């Protein structure tokens, strides 16, 4: 059914949400379900790619792929991606990686008191931007989930992270949903895709990127 468009291509995909631990039982996370990244991993595998999946917290069920590694925090995800990035031809950063994590993570459960509790956050490293700036980078695809000025922010993100292709979508419609409505943005222009289930969207993204490869 699916043409083997990506036969033997090595593709690393991140998926799901990270959780930045405050203490052993609590963390800061987001509402990513993992569905979009898992759909890309599944369809890329069906298209013949050798997929490596680095996944965080997800409610969706994970597809069978050649290599899968769990990474629960932004730090772990960074390490795992960098460990597996050599020889990859494509990197697709779909994971909703936390931009910040707690400056200190308590070894013991934080006890409540009558005081206000303040959490200090430090900026996390940008996995996608760092992969894109490797000496011989894979073809990099990013996602931009925005609640406003979607196109403008996505275009800027593509330039800031120095990646060839970004997938723009509305965060409130995309995250956790079975469907997605996206616009692909690359150096040649904007390509809006019809609203569809994430498997269909994944096939269209992969077909688009295949045509940009070599």
Output the 3-class SS for the chain.
Answer: CCCCCCCCCEEEEEECECCEEEECCEEECCCCCCHHHHHHHHHHHHCCCEEEEEECECCCCCCCCCEEEECCCHHHHHHHHHHHCCCCCEEEECCECCCEEECCCCCCCCCCCCCCCCCCEEECCCHHHHHHCCCCCCEEEEEEEECCCHHHHHHHHHHHCCCCEEEEEEHHHHCCCCEECEEEEECCEEEECCCEEHHHHHHHHHHHHHHHCC
Q: Looking at 43-51, 54-62, 136-144, 184-192, which segment touches ligand C5P (CB under 6 A)?
A: 136-144
Residue 157 among known ligand-binding residues: yes
Our CA dihedral for 208, 209, 210, 214, rounded to 10 degrees, sits at 130
> What is the closest distance, in whole angstroms, from the C-beta atom of residue 147 to ligand C5P in the complex?
11
> What is the closest distance, in whole angstroms, from the C-beta atom of residue 166 to ligand C5P in the complex?
8
Asked if 157 interacts with ligand C5P (CB under 6 A), we say yes
> What is the closest distance, in whole angstroms, from the C-beta atom of residue 5 to ligand C5P in the complex?
22
What is the footprint of ligand C5P within residues 17-76 (CB under 6 A)?
74
Determine whether 30 is an active site residue. Answer: yes
> What is the closest distance, in whole angstroms, from the C-beta atom of residue 4 to ligand C5P in the complex?
26
Asked if 182 interacts with ligand C5P (CB under 6 A), we say no
Of the residues 87, 99, 190, 197, which one makes contact with ligand C5P according to CB under 6 A = 99
Residue 123 among known ligand-binding residues: no
Asked if 201 interacts with ligand C5P (CB under 6 A), we say no
Q: CA–CA distance from 156 to each of 109, 146, 166, 185 (Å)?
A: 40, 12, 10, 11
Q: Looking at 20-28, 93-101, 185-193, 201-209, which segment touches ligand C5P (CB under 6 A)?
A: 93-101
Q: Looking at 62-70, 141-149, 191-199, 205-213, which segment touches ligand C5P (CB under 6 A)?
A: 141-149
State both tokens at 120: 């200090």
Asked if 13 interacts with ligand C5P (CB under 6 A), we say no
State both tokens at 4: 């083997």
Asked if 128 interacts with ligand C5P (CB under 6 A), we say yes
* Positions at the binding site for CTP: 99, 109, 143, 157, 161
- Residues near ligand C5P, by CB under 6 A: 14, 74, 93-95, 97, 99, 124, 126-128, 142-144, 157
- The catalytic residues are 30
């Amino acid at each position: 059914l699916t043409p083997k468009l990506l036969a033997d291509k090595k593709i690393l995909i991140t998926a799901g949400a990270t959780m930045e631990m405050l203490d052993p039982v609590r963390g800061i996370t987001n509402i990513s379900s993992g569905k979009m990244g898992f759909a890309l991993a599944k369809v890329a595998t069906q298209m013949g790619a050798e997929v490596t999946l680095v996944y965080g917290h997800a409610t969706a069920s994970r597809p069978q792929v050649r290599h899968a590694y769990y990474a629960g925090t932004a730090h772990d995800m960074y390490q795992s991606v960098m460990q597996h990035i050599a020889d990859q031809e494509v990197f697709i950063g779909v994971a909703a990686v936390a931009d910040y994590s707690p400056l200190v993570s308590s070894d013991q459960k934080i006890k409540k008191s009558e005081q206000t509790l303040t959490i200090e956050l430090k900026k996390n490293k940008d996995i996608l931007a760092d992969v894109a700036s490797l000496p011989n980078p894979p073809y990099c695809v990013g996602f931009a989930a925005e609640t406003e000025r979607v196109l403008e922010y996505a275009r800027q993100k593509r330039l800031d992270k120095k990646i060839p292709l970004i997938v723009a979508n509305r965060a409130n419609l995309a995250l956790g949903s079975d469907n997605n409505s996206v616009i692909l943005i690359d150096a040649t222009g904007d390509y809006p895709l019809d609203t569809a289930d994430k498997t269909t969207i994944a096939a269209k993204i992969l077909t688009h990127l295949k045509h940009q490869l070599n």
